[in-house]
A = this chain, B = another copy of it.
């Protein structure tokens, strides 16, 4: 059975040595000193290792069951949920006005990585509840906040997001679910929603569904969508639970992974609903939570990579097979541990270099969300808005890839259920799809975010890169050669791609959109390159000053060099692809695609 150890040392390194958070001016960050964050991370790490990780294969094996409208979660989930709830882990970054602890989002991000890595399907229940909390907190009336938020913060109640219908996922303008106004100011919602994570389950007393629907007078398309609160049980004036609402779970989806999470078909049959915010402005309300939700999915991607890497490493240290080609390492054993073999090592280094870079990138992104939300920093908002599709798309693609690499480390054992590696692959796979497929992320990035405000955000990135390189160059020839030079080259590729889009994408948008996926990856590499340069600099300072754990810091430097020399060169290939524009991508008529058959 796989295990999980919380990477607290690395998280502390990122929080304090790289991001230097306690020196930040973001409100609330001043109390985040090393001891404080260590205490939180250690406690969360214990829950993750001891409570959530052992339940991960259980959830996969058992899945959820639906009987007479009741969804049962896997054995042990409910008890674990109580442990997490009572430990206060569900309310870390929630508003103290509603019972939250008011900690920065950055802290709940670090804890979220641990919970997600150790049991992604389990942690999704809480993730969805947090999404509903966010939506009501941002857009609900005062009365709605008072009614729903305290119980969502305490996780006595759960929450869901209802967007997709059978005929529409990405294109929400096609939604058919109807909301009919009633005389008492409420609405009646009717329609079918699919793929509703945590839509029905047995771990909470009530479930607050947030549902996108159309009013009778709604304009066509996405500008005619409204957002509603539709509770499973109506809530009485005094906060007690009232009658059961006219909604039900009509089925559970059988899927590739995340079996421990109930993916529900939801039927709304004239269910009582309450409008959130203004009529027809539901999509806008959804979009305000999007940065956080998408960053959360990017996190899920690399978190599965992290736990897969840990278990691949354990196997590589234990499994004896073959001999080190440069000389036997374990003469007293029938063979050497496979970690002696260069290709096993290459594989592990690739995993490690990605996961650590992704963690730093994500934490940096979370700190921008804090800067925006807590300090109303418009520059931070602009930056994180641009980076969000990169975090979501790049980190989930590479996170999935990392689980596949880790599975490969185990050879045949990786393919068996028993060793648990294949679950990481199957679970990670959804992160590339939900919360907007990665193709949609690329479209959002190139089709919307790049050009927003006259391209101010991407210009800010170019300035940031240039500024970083300028500020850090010329102090250490080795650092320059190993980190700054490759970063400079990669940044140039990013800029050249932007120039290509400007020159060829304005008149013929397909030239830009055909390169959108490559641009997302190119951008992701540049961001990880920047994070690795920053981490290397921090590690080098630690080594030079004799601070911290030298073996750890030197591993950091070597892993950074691995990323810079072996992964960052991918930017050149992405640029080459981008520069071919729509030429070959759009060359075929639809019917020519199938011409090989028949």
A334 and B433: CB pair below 8 A?
Answer: no
Bound-state Cα–Cα, A508 to B343, Å? 15
Most buried by B among A408, A411, A549, A561: A411
- Tell me the smallest distance from the CB of A403 to a CB of chain B, in Å: 11
Question: A313 near B: Cβ within 8 Å?
Answer: yes
A169 and B595: CB pair below 8 A?
Answer: no
B7 and A597: CB pair below 8 A?
Answer: yes
Question: A480 near B: Cβ within 8 Å?
Answer: no
B561 and A569: CB pair below 8 A?
Answer: no
Bound-state Cα–Cα, A284 to B580, Å? 48
3 nearest A-B residue pairs (beta carbon) = A10-B596, A562-B584, A558-B587
A342 and B585: CB pair below 8 A?
Answer: yes
Among the stretches A91-99, A100-108, A178-186, A414-422, the one at the interface with B is: A414-422
Q: A344 and B439 in contact (CB under 8 A), knowing A254-B418, A412-B164, A422-B256?
A: yes
Question: A119 near B: Cβ within 8 Å?
Answer: no
Q: In this complex, what residue of B is CB-closest to A555?
A: B592
Residues of chain A touching chain B, judged by Cβ–Cβ distance below 8 Å, are 5-10, 164, 167-171, 174, 195, 253-257, 310, 313, 317, 320-322, 325-326, 334-335, 337, 339, 341-349, 352, 356, 400, 404, 407-408, 411-412, 414-418, 422, 425-426, 429-430, 432-434, 437-439, 442-443, 447, 508-510, 513-514, 516-517, 549, 551-552, 554-555, 558-559, 561-562, 565-566, 569-570, 572-573, 576-577, 580, 582-598
The 8 Å CB contact of A514, one of B313, B342, B437, B443, is B342
> Can you give 26 contacting A-B residue pairs, CB < 8 Å?
A9-B596, A9-B598, A170-B411, A171-B322, A174-B334, A195-B412, A254-B417, A317-B590, A325-B510, A339-B593, A342-B513, A342-B582, A343-B516, A343-B517, A348-B593, A352-B593, A408-B433, A414-B433, A549-B595, A551-B592, A555-B593, A555-B596, A561-B583, A562-B585, A570-B573, A572-B573
A439 and B321: CB pair below 8 A?
Answer: no
Bound-state Cα–Cα, A510 to B343, Å? 9
Bound-state Cα–Cα, A510 to B339, Å? 13
A513 and B341: CB pair below 8 A?
Answer: yes
- Tell me the smallest distance from the CB of A164 to a CB of chain B, in Å: 7
Q: Enumerate chain B residues within 8 angstroms of A411, measured Cβ to Cβ.
A: 169-170, 433, 437
A585 and B349: CB pair below 8 A?
Answer: yes
The 8 Å CB contact of A510, one of B6, B10, B342, B437, is B342
Given A407-B429, A559-B584, 14 additional A-B pairs, CB 8 A: A5-B594, A5-B597, A7-B596, A8-B598, A9-B595, A168-B321, A170-B321, A195-B412, A325-B447, A342-B510, A411-B433, A565-B576, A565-B580, A569-B576
- Tell me the smallest distance from the CB of A400 to a CB of chain B, in Å: 8
Most buried by B among A7, A9, A555, A572: A555
- Tell me the smallest distance from the CB of A542 to a CB of chain B, in Å: 13
The 8 Å CB contact of A408, one of B168, B437, B573, is B437
Q: Enumerate chain B residues within 8 angstroms of A356, measured Cβ to Cβ.
A: 596
Q: In this complex, what residue of B is CB-closest to A561?
A: B584
Q: In this complex, what residue of B is CB-closest to A509?
A: B325
Q: Enumerate chain B residues within 8 angstroms of A554, measured Cβ to Cβ.
A: 592
Q: Enumerate chain B residues within 8 angstroms of A342, measured Cβ to Cβ.
A: 510, 513-514, 516, 582, 585-586
Q: Enumerate chain B residues within 8 angstroms of A344, measured Cβ to Cβ.
A: 439
Bound-state Cα–Cα, A549 to B447, Å? 37
